[in-house]
Amino acid sequence: MTSIGLAGGWRIKQPSVIPGFGLALGFTLTYLSLIILLPLAGVVWRTASLGWSGFWAIALDERTVSALKTSFGTSLVAAAINVPFGVLVAWVLTRYRFPGRRILDAIVDLPFALPTAVAGIALTALYAPNGWIGGLLAPLGIKVAYTPLGIVIALIFIGLPFVVRTVQPVMEELSRESEEAAATLGANRWQTVRRVILPGLMPAILTGFALALARAVGEYGSVIFIAGNIPYVSEIAPLLIVIRLQEFNYAGATAVAAAMLIVSFAMLLAINLIQAWSRRRYGYGG
Amino acid sequence: MAADTSPSRGPIVSPSFTGATTEHKATRWTLTLIAVSFLLLVIVLPLVSVFAEALSKGFATYLAALIEPDAMSAIRLTLTVTIIAVPMNIVFGVAAAWAIAKFEFKGKALLTTLIDLPFSVSPVISGLVYVLLFGAGSVLGPWLKAHGVEILFAVPGIVLATIFVTFPFVARELIPLMQEQGTTDEEAALSLGASGWQTFRFVTLPNIKWGLLYGVLLCNARAMGEFGAVSVVSGRIRGATTTLPLHIEILYNEYNVVAAFAVASLLALLALLTLGLKAAMEWRYGAEIAAATRH
Amino acid sequence: MLRRRQVLALGAFLALFGLAAGAPALADTTLLNVSYDPTRELYKDVNAAFATYWKNKTGETVTVKQSHGGSGAQARAVIDGLDADVVTLALAGDIDAIAKNSKKIPADWAARLPHNSAPYTSTIVFLVRKGNPKGIKDWGDLVKDGVQVITPNPKTSGGAQWNFLAGWAWALKQHNGDEAKAQAYIAALYKNVPVLDTGARGSTTTFVQRGIGDVLLAWENEAFLAIDELGPNTVEIVVPSLSIKAEPSVALVDGNVDAKKTRAVAQAYLEFLYTDEAQKIIAKNYYRPTKPEAADPKDLKRFPSLTLVTIDDFGGWAKAQPRFFLDGGVFDQIYKPGK
């Protein structure tokens, strides 16, 4: 257990024998600024032209708030469903051996590769009342396509690989020794999983959750096909941005975009802070 | 990967051996069953429906949709964009992961969050930002155009939007892995007199090789499949600025569902192929990977 | 496999440089027509005919490249710098927006070509399930309980704005000009809409392929095409008592053709749309020609005759768009919760 993080001090960087900090960080910051921050500054700039009151009028407009609620609500539900299932999938894929495992392992990445529009079309075809799954659910009175439930389905599809692929490498890295030690000390399997394995996985699980959530909030291509897009019911925030652009209302569009940016940035930051905290709390693995 | 060597982990396992670090047979079966059914429902079924649609008019129609000139031009453009965008994000990902995972510094959580940001930025906005930056209404756009540089509605704009969208993939894959690995190995190498570059090349890189590969594959797949952001900056000029996903949308909007799904299946196949390649490498170099990841 | 990908990759790089180097040299013979969604089939035919026509007339080879998308999104791309030589959009309002926001088109563009720069027109009709099980005959049937109406979102689709206005015009006539009643009718109509797709094509797919809804409000040309392409035995057209004359407009993008030195051929392309040859193609693709005498009588017979209002009855797009569709307009009002 090495932990440089334990040393105190108020300098920007804590001392380390490892070289390349300046180069790595310098390059990272430059690239980040050019590709991400500078263009995003454009959004802020356009929004700023509205002034504070103008921005808040749009951000707190009933329609905007309801679209943001739909986007964040469905994303939260989808990410919350993806965490247990994603961890389970990662666990089964790393720990168990069964026929077809490699194929399943490869297929987890599919949502990354499939263009989101295709995913949307395929999912809508499946879940529409005349689709393979929608047809089974329709007699039970369950409607999926063109309801918020449909949005959740699309977002589960989009988010799953984020959880699995973030958790999986760490799970593979986990040392068997600590599990064996726990078992030797009399812990049953459930206790070992809960007390030894899960804490080690926690940072990765949180990252996976955050990424699945963050990705889901902005998702557009796959959702518009299955959502129904009814204002105040199944209208997502990115669609509202498109609508504002269509009205040649750039300031309105960037204001909604900025509102989304602020909320998701705050969420991501919170989760990254929790993660940093949990890493200090549980230390590094390996 | 270390698991390959132990026979005790499969659902099918000799009943005489129930190690202390594995679950009961019934538990294993149940968990496997749940995971497999979930994957079948969420991922495999949509995939199957893509192929079912693509092949619904027979293989000849399927093939015709792929070798048609507009489809070929879309394939070329998609490959061009990927070849530029992915390496740039690899270099960035390794540098960012090195800075974040190997050092403790102020503002690290902020930096990590900024790296995650493109995930949460709606693809619509990712395209929009470049329109705001380089569009006819901006300061930069008309100036560049006057000097003969086309960014928006041309290949550079598509490359930029793709880089933006795939920005965090490599970094995000490497950061938790490198954090998990800690700095012990590098410190040992340095204390034995290795230079910084040697340490990275011979100690860190082998350790992160497989995580890096995952990251590159994901970055690659997403770069090829990105739709929303690219559609904003592309101008959709058929045969010139349409990438594969845009071509799929065009076909779909022409009621040419079979061709649309045929091209979509090509992207899915491409992804499956690279992932198969990864699996094959793992199988061949399994021992080496196990050695690299087992401490 | 890997090697093949590398070869492809190399090819891609070369193609990229070829593209960059070749673009200016080709510019005098390549036109870019930025259009809206449902015109794909039409312009495929028109472009081929124009290439032959131009070759015979001048000996030059001309290729017309197409870009299709939602009418508003396409207008925005041109404003943002997409190098369109000509725009052929769903609404005059979208071309007005280009004129206003980019100054690449003069404000009086509509007067530069015959028929308000609309070489073809269309209208809005109903598409219903085969046999018309819900007995939908006219606009009044759309607000009945249990009738599901499919129409795209007027915020993102030009065709949807025509749908909206046609319904409004009917209600206004029905209620002797009482606008409050017309608004109540429109609100009831959109209460029966379960899905607002972003474009006309999306709505057609939802209706025909997903089996959602009892009636689709569609462009006449889209309705015919949908029957041809998707379901001759599953859907049929119902013609309402009153509809609107939809005028998709075309315009030369002066700012771009002057920079690219393509004015002559671009102008010829737009004028070609009014020739007998093009008008025949137009009728064949289910658009109503402005010169019916040039079209095949067989094609003309397919168009039902019905009473049509025009956009001028709404005071033109400059008045209609802010009133009905822009932020806070009638369409936003009917969706306000608690109404």
pLDDT of residue C185: 96
Cβ C67–B235 below 8 Å, yes or no? yes
- Mutate which of A14, A28, A197 to disrupt the B interface (most B C-beta within 10 Å)? A28
pLDDT of residue B291: 52
Phi-psi region of B58 (alpha: psi -120 to 50; beta: other; left: phi over 0): left
**Is pLDDT at C59 greater than 80 in this prediction?**
yes
Residue bearing the bigger pLDDT, B252 or B3: B252
Cβ C40–B253 below 8 Å, yes or no? yes
C149 Cα distance to chain centroid: 20
Q: Residue C28 — very low, low, confident or very high, per pLDDT cuts 50/70/90?
A: low
Q: Residue A160 — very low, low, confident or very high, per pLDDT cuts 50/70/90?
A: very high
Average pLDDT over residues C78-83: 90
Phi-psi region of A186 (alpha: psi -120 to 50; beta: other; left: phi over 0): left
**Is pLDDT at A185 greater than 90 in this prediction?**
no
CA gap A162, B101 in Å, rounded: 19
Listed by number, the residues of chain B in 60-119 with a beta carbon closer than 8 Å to a beta carbon of chain A are 88, 91-92, 95-96, 98-99, 102-119
pLDDT of residue B4: 40
Least confident of B68-77, B247-256, C102-111, C280-289: B247-256
Predicted ipTM of the assembly: 0.78
B135 lies within 8 A of chain C by CB:
yes
- SS3 readout for chain C: CHHHHHHHHHHHHHHHHHHHHHHHHHHHHEEEEEEEHHHHHHHHHHHHHHHHHHHHHHCCCCEEEEEEECHHHHHHHHHCCCCCCEEEECCHHHHHHHHHHHCCCCCCHHHHCHHHHCCEEEEEEEEEECCCCCCCCCHHHHHCCCCCEECCCCCCCHHHHHHHHHHHHHHHHHCCCCHHHHHHHHHHHHHCCCCCCCCHHHHHHHHHCCCCCCEEEEEHHHHHHHHHHCCCCCEEEECCCEEEEECCEEEECHHHHHHHCCHHHHHHHHHHCCCHHHHHHHHHCCCEECCHHHCCHHHHCCCCCCEEECHHHHCCHHHHHHHHHCCCCHHHHHHCCCC
At A13 the three-state DSSP class reads: strand
C187 lies within 8 A of chain A by CB:
no
A53 to chain B nearest CA, in Å? 22
pLDDT of residue B17: 39
Average pLDDT over residues B193-214: 87
B248 lies within 8 A of chain A by CB:
yes
**Is pLDDT at C63 greater than 90 in this prediction?**
yes
A24 lies within 8 A of chain C by CB:
no
- CA-based nearest residue in chain A for residue C80: A248
User: For chains B and C, what is the number of CB pairs under 8 angstroms?
Assistant: 79
B290 lies within 8 A of chain A by CB:
no
Dihedral of the CA atoms A147, A148, A150, A155 (nearest 10)? 160
B200 lies within 8 A of chain A by CB:
yes
> Residue A91, class by beta-carbon neighbours within 10 Å (0-12 exposed, 13-18 middle, 19+ buried)?
buried
Q: What percent of chain B has pLDDT over 70?
A: 86
Q: What percent of chain A has pLDDT over 70?
A: 93
Contact residues, chain B, for A160 at CB < 8 Å = 42-43
pLDDT of residue B285: 67
CA gap A169, B170 in Å, rounded: 13
Q: List phi, psi (to 5°) of C86.
A: -135, 150
Cβ A109–B217 below 8 Å, yes or no? yes
At B237 the three-state DSSP class reads: strand
Query: Please, how many CA atoms are within 13 Å of residue C238, restricted to the half-sphere of its CB?
Result: 23
pLDDT tens for each residue of B218-231: 788 888 888 888 98
Contact residues, chain C, for B235 at CB < 8 Å = 34, 67, 77, 82-83
pLDDT tens for each residue of A229-243: 888 888 899 888 888
Residue B28 token pair: 């294993």
Cβ B152–C82 below 8 Å, yes or no? yes
The angle formed by the CA atoms of residues B200, B205 and B208, to the nearest 5 degrees, is: 135
Q: Residue A128 — very low, low, confident or very high, per pLDDT cuts 50/70/90?
A: confident
Query: Which of these, B224, B120, B130, B114, lies nearest to B171 by C-alpha position?
Result: B114
C48 lies within 8 A of chain B by CB:
no
**Is pLDDT at C329 greater than 50 in this prediction?**
yes
B225 to chain A nearest CA, in Å? 4
pLDDT of residue C104: 93
B87 to chain A nearest CA, in Å? 13
Task: Give the chains touching C; criterion: ≥3 Cβ pairs < 8 Å.
Answer: A, B
Q: List phi, psi (to 5°) of A228.
A: 95, -35
Cβ B76–C82 below 8 Å, yes or no? no
Cβ C83–B153 below 8 Å, yes or no? yes
Phi-psi region of B242 (alpha: psi -120 to 50; beta: other; left: phi over 0): beta
pLDDT of residue B158: 95
Of B38, B105, B191, Cβ closest to residue A13: B105
Least confident of A196-205, C98-107, C132-141: A196-205
Average pLDDT over residues B87-106: 92
Contact residues, chain C, for B136 at CB < 8 Å = 79-81, 102
* Domains of chain A with CATH codes: 1-48 (no CATH), 51-282 (1.10.3720.10)
pLDDT of residue A119: 87
Q: List phi, psi (to 5°) of C197.
A: -70, 165
**Is pLDDT at B154 greater than 60 in this prediction?**
yes
Q: Residue C25 — very low, low, confident or very high, per pLDDT cuts 50/70/90?
A: very low
Of B136, B236, B252, Cβ closest to residue C81: B136
pLDDT tens for each residue of C133-165: 999 999 999 999 999 999 998 988 888 999 999
Of B43, B181, B245, Cβ closest to residue A115: B245
pLDDT of residue C54: 94
Q: Residue B159 — very low, low, confident or very high, per pLDDT cuts 50/70/90?
A: very high
C80 to chain B nearest CA, in Å? 5
pLDDT of residue A11: 63
pLDDT tens for each residue of A38-81: 888 888 888 888 888 888 888 888 888 999 999 999 999 999 99
Residue bearing the bigger pLDDT, C16 or A250: A250
Q: Residue B182 — very low, low, confident or very high, per pLDDT cuts 50/70/90?
A: confident
Q: List phi, psi (to 5°) of A220.
A: -125, -60
pLDDT of residue B222: 83
- Mutate which of A229, A249, A256 to disrupt the C interface (most C C-beta within 10 Å)? A229
A148-173 helix and B169-181 helix, angle to the nearest 10 degrees: 40
Average pLDDT over residues B144-158: 89
